[in-house]
Amino acid sequence: MLLHKLWLAGVILGASQSALGLKLPHSLLALQNVFSLQQALCPHYSSLSSHELPIDLGQYSGEIVARLDYSNDHQLKKALMGRSIFKFKKWGKNNVLQTMDVQLHPDTLQDMAHQFPNMKYEVIIDDLAQKVYETYPQHWASSKLNPTRMNVFSELFFKEYRPLETINAWLNILQETFPNQIKLETIGYTHENRPLQVVHFSTEADPDHSDKRTVVITGGIHAREWISVSSVLYSIYELLQYYSANPDSSILSRLDFLFIPVFNPDGYEYTWSSDRLWRKNRQETVNPNCLGIDIDHSFDFHWTRSSDWECGEEYSGEKPFEALESKVWDEYLNATNENHNIYGFIDLHSYSQEVLYPYAYSCANQPRDEENLIELAYGISKTIRQESGKNYNVMPACVDKDADLIPDLGAGSSLDFMYHNKAYRAYQLKLRDSGSHGFLLPGKYIEPVGKEIFAGIKYFCIFILGDD
Ligand SMILES: [Zn+2]
């Protein structure tokens, strides 16, 4: 019965043929081929009229993304991590190779090369506007004209990234199809009055949840990191499949799950309507010219005000929990403390393929039970490598944040807050890639990344069940 429902939901919800292990009807396969062909023939955005484009792409024209090597230049490293006279936006960095990717104008790159003559660099995205364009669904124009078509074609759900409205519709169908396993709960509202939704996944009637440990999986705290949102959704879907194949599995009889696929709904929506590369939420700040607080610098554990200013991408706000989403989450956890024995936490981000363990705020303080924390981190990394061949580096989050160089860079993170106050085991995973796509990972990677992350989550759950 459950398998049949899962198949039905798969067709409705858009699981891929391979994900279900079942054959899609012929007509749907034909549609799939049409869209594959469209993707292959993606036109240049400049050949299209503005109503055919999802957002104004002119805002990125002329900009590039370059990978700068700071391994032999401490001054360059400082200039990249802190406030700088050069105008660039930080993307990801590789902490092993000691490179940072930055979004900038080619003239700025030349100025930097002049200032730091030993700087090695390579351009990894030479046409940023086109690269941005290619991350939106390729049938964007038609789906915008007729939104219901998106639902008709929803068997392709994991083939492309999805806007908030479609994600919420998908979650609602999920709840209707699996009322005994999936429950949606609105835990509060954002500045723009969007609901912050939690997906409860629980398989047995246990109103007190007394004997169960709860695992929390979050994504989308940074708006532009779309692959983190799709990976939470994919994990929910994979968990349903896992349950149908293993109804007596201890993962589901002894664990409850709370998923938050879109921790920053206002920011996510903004990446679909205005700026694909937006990172923060969208609430007002003390500076009337600048919107948005970095939610991941807003949690009340070793919070310090960021050295970044109000318009900066890492702005922390003026006080802890000023970002509404972090406040709502804290209040929800406090109010439901007795219902959830929160034990594990994984926060998904992108990019650079890393498994990060606490603390983020400082490398000077060792986390409790550090050996087991590291062992589990390597276990997750190894599981991912066995699943997909992809290498995820393991390190303390403070190293990734360069908290020792500039202390406020690692302050107020969701990782530290959850680890210190709520979860015994806590990680931040930075997903793919480590190559040339960065935040603009094409939609064709949604499924492979979803699969490798679910494998890592499954390993995490089994490890947790062994804790006593
Ligand atoms: Zn992030």
ipTM, two decimals, is 0.99
Sign of the alpha-carbon torsion through 364, 367, 370, 374: negative
Q: How far, in Å, from the CA of 443 to the mean position of ligand 1?
A: 18
Q: How far, in Å, from the CA of 78 to the mean position of ligand 1?
A: 21
Q: How far, in Å, from the CA of 221 to the mean position of ligand 1?
A: 6
Q: How far, in Å, from the CA of 135 to the mean position of ligand 1?
A: 18
How many degrees, rounded to 5, is the angle at CA 134 between CA 130 and CA 136?
Answer: 130
Q: How far, in Å, from the CA of 183 to the mean position of ligand 1?
A: 26
Q: Looking at the predicted structure, is the pLDDT value of residue 295 above 90?
A: yes
**pLDDT for residue 177:** 87
Q: Are 353 and 434 in contact (CB under 8 A)?
A: yes
Q: How far, in Å, from the CA of 326 to the mean position of ligand 1?
A: 14
pLDDT band at 24 (very low <50, low <70, confident <90, very high): very low
Q: Are 284 and 400 in contact (CB under 8 A)?
A: no
Q: Are 162 and 170 in contact (CB under 8 A)?
A: yes
Report the relative pairing of strands 342-350 and 354-357 from DSSP bridges. unpaired
Q: How far apart are CA 384 and CA 110, in angstroms?
A: 39
Q: How far, in Å, from the CA of 383 to the mean position of ligand 1?
A: 22
The residues pairing with 347 across neighbouring beta strands, listed in sequence order, are 218, 428
Terminal C-alpha separation, the chain? 35
Q: Looking at the predicted structure, is the pLDDT value of residue 373 above 90?
A: yes
The secondary structure of residue 423, as a DSSP letter, is -
Q: How far, in Å, from the CA of 418 to the mean position of ligand 1?
A: 16
**pLDDT for residue 442:** 96
Q: How far, in Å, from the CA of 81 to the mean position of ligand 1?
A: 16
**pLDDT for residue 147:** 38
Q: How far, in Å, from the CA of 189 to the mean position of ligand 1?
A: 21
**Cis, bond preceding 351 (omega within 30 deg of 0):** yes
Q: How far, in Å, from the CA of 231 to the mean position of ligand 1?
A: 14
- Taking a 5 Å cut-off on Cβ, the residues next to ion ligand 1 are 222, 225, 349
**pLDDT for residue 48:** 93
In the chain, % of residues over pLDDT 90? 70
Average pLDDT, whole number, for the chain?
A: 87
**pLDDT for residue 15:** 42
13-37 burial, b at 16+ Cβ within 10 Å, e below that, comes to bbbbeebbeeebeeebeeebeebee
For residue 159, give every residue at least 6 positions away whose Cβ sits within 8 Å of its Cβ, in sequence order, or none.
14, 16, 32, 35, 443, 444, 446, 447
Q: How far, in Å, from the CA of 397 to the mean position of ligand 1?
A: 12
For residue 96, give every residue at least 6 positions away whose Cβ sits within 8 Å of its Cβ, in sequence order, or none.
393
Kindly state the tokens that stand for 55: 């957002």
Q: How far apart are CA 280 and CA 402, in angstroms?
A: 20
Q: How far apart are CA 211 and CA 181, in angstroms?
A: 17
Q: How far, in Å, from the CA of 20 to the mean position of ligand 1?
A: 30
Q: Looking at the predicted structure, is the pLDDT value of residue 149 above 50?
A: no
Domains of the chain: 2-43 (no CATH), 63-126 (3.30.70), 161-466 (3.40.630.10)
**Cis, bond preceding 359 (omega within 30 deg of 0):** yes
Q: Looking at the predicted structure, is the pLDDT value of residue 140 above 80?
A: no
Q: How far, in Å, from the CA of 261 to the mean position of ligand 1?
A: 13
Q: How far, in Å, from the CA of 157 to the mean position of ligand 1?
A: 23
Selection from 275, 300, 293 nearest residue 412 by Cα: 300
* Lowest mean per-residue pLDDT among 22-31, 227-236, 373-382: 22-31
Q: How far, in Å, from the CA of 195 to the mean position of ligand 1?
A: 21
State how far Cα 118 lies from the chain centre: 34
The secondary structure of residue 25, as a DSSP letter, is P
Selection from 348, 370, 345, 351 nearest residue 359 by Cα: 370
Q: How far, in Å, from the CA of 223 to the mean position of ligand 1?
A: 8
* Max Cα distance, the chain (Å): 67
Q: How far, in Å, from the CA of 409 to the mean position of ligand 1?
A: 13
Q: What are phi and psi of 347, to 5 degrees?
A: -110, 120
Q: How far, in Å, from the CA of 292 to the mean position of ligand 1?
A: 15
Reduce the DSSP state of residue 225 to 3 states and report it: coil
Burial of 44 by CB count in 10 Å (0-12 exposed, 13-18 middle, 19+ buried)? exposed
For residue 203, give every residue at least 6 positions away whose Cβ sits within 8 Å of its Cβ, in sequence order, or none.
180, 181, 243, 247, 252, 253
**For tokens 């929160």, what's the residue?**
342
Q: How far, in Å, from the CA of 440 to the mean position of ligand 1?
A: 13
**pLDDT for residue 21:** 32
Q: How far, in Å, from the CA of 247 to the mean position of ligand 1?
A: 34
Q: How far, in Å, from the CA of 427 to the mean position of ligand 1?
A: 13
Sheet holding 64-69, edge to edge: 89-94, 99-104, 64-69, 120-125
Query: In angstroms, what CA-CA distances link 403 with 181, 365, 398?
Result: 41, 12, 5
**Cis, bond preceding 208 (omega within 30 deg of 0):** no
Q: How far, in Å, from the CA of 374 to the mean position of ligand 1?
A: 21
